[in-house]
Amino acid sequence: MEKLKKYIPYLKNKYLISITVLLTILFVIEDTNVFSLIKLKSDLNQLKEENKEKELAIENIKKKTLELTTNPEALEKFARETYKMKKKDEVIYLFVEEESK
C-alpha cells in the first residue's frame, strides 16, 4: 500500500493521463499504428528488390532483342532452337524424354 501511495500524484496528473491515452491510441489502436508501419516498410523493401530484379530482366531482354535484330547467326540459332526451323535439305531428329513413374 505504501508503494501505491507514492504513485497516486502521477495518476492524478491530467497531462500524464492524456499523453498516455494519446500514445496508446497512436501506437496501438489507429489504422496507421507502429505495427502496420513496420509491415508496410518491410513490404516496400521487398517490392524494391522485386523492381530491381525486373529491371535486370528487362535489360537482358533488351540485349537479346538487339542481338537478334543485328546478328543473323543469332537469329538463325534462335529460330532453330525455339521454332524448330530447318533448312531445305536438312533432317532434324527430336528426342523426347519420357517421365518415369
The string of pLDDT tens digits covering residues 38-76 is 999 999 999 999 999 999 999 999 999 999 999 989 888
Q: Which residues contact 4 (CB under 8 A, 6 or more apart)?
A: none
Torsion of CA 71, 72, 78, 80, to 10 degrees: -160
Q: How distant, in Å, are the alpha carbons of 14, 61, 65, 71 from that of 57?
A: 59, 6, 12, 21
Please tell me the predicted confidence (pLDDT) of residue 101: 64
Q: Report yes or no on whether pTM surpasses 0.95.
A: no
Nearest-CA neighbor of 33 among 24, 42, 46? 24
